[in-house]
Amino acid sequence: MRKVIETRRTGPEEFVENLETVLDIYTAAMRPPHDQLSGRLAIMRNHASYPGFLCIFALDVETPNAPLIAGFAYGFHGTPGQWWHDVVRRSLQDRAGPRVAEDWFGDALELAEIHVHPNYQSKGVGRRMIHEICAGRHERTAVLSTHDEPTAARHLYRAVGFMDLMTGFVFPGGYENYAIAGARLPLST
C-alpha cells in the first residue's frame, strides 16, 4: 500500500528533541558500527547549533495522531571554523584555486545528512526532502559529500543537479573515498 508522506520544516530545537528517532533512522539506513553511534549523536547535536540550521522531516501520516518519522535531511550555512567546511574548502582550493573554492564554498548551504528508513526508500522521499531543504534558501550553492560509489544517493544528487567538485576524496584520518558535490541554487530540476 502506498504510504502517505508529508514533509515538515523544523528548526534546531525540534531536531534535538527528536535526536533519538533521528539516530534510529540513521542506524537503519547506514548500518554504522555500534561504537560510532555516540560520536555521531554528538556531531548531530553540534550541527544543530550552526547558523541557518534547517531539518526536513518526512512523516508517515497514515496514523495522524502519531506520525512516524520516515526520513530526515538537514543542513546549515557553511562558515569558517566548521570542520567539514574547512577541510573540504582547503582541499578544493589546493586542487582548483581560491576563486573556485570561494565560488562553491563562500556562500553555501551544506547538506550534512539525508537518510530515509529502508521501509520508505525508493519512493521519492529523498528527492522530495532535497528539494524541500533547498527551496527558499538564500545561499548561492548547496554542497555535500557522499561515498564515491554508484549508490542511490549518488544517483539522486546527480538527478537533482549536483555535479562532482572532487572525487576520490579522503577525509583526514579516514580511508574511504568520497565525492564532494555541489549545485547552484535554486535547484533547476
Site of interaction with ligand COA (CB under 6 A): 29-30, 114-116, 121-127, 146, 150-153, 155-156, 159
Q: Of 4 and 159, which CB lies nearer to ligand COA in the complex structure?
A: 159
Q: Could you tell me the CA-to-CA distances from 152 to 104, 121, 139, 167, 176 in Å, in that order?
A: 24, 10, 26, 17, 17
Q: State the nearest-atom distance from the C-beta of 42 to ligand COA, in Å.
A: 19
* Element containing residue 178 per DSSP (H, E): strand 178-184
Q: State the nearest-atom distance from the C-beta of 135 to ligand COA, in Å.
A: 15
Q: State the nearest-atom distance from the C-beta of 114 to ligand COA, in Å.
A: 5
Q: Of 131 and 140, which CB lies nearer to ligand COA in the complex structure?
A: 131
Pairing of strands 141-147, 108-116: parallel
Q: State the nearest-atom distance from the C-beta of 175 to ligand COA, in Å.
A: 17
CA angle 49, 50, 52 (to 5 degrees): 115
Q: Of 78 and 126, which CB lies nearer to ligand COA in the complex structure?
A: 126
* Element containing residue 110 per DSSP (H, E): strand 108-116
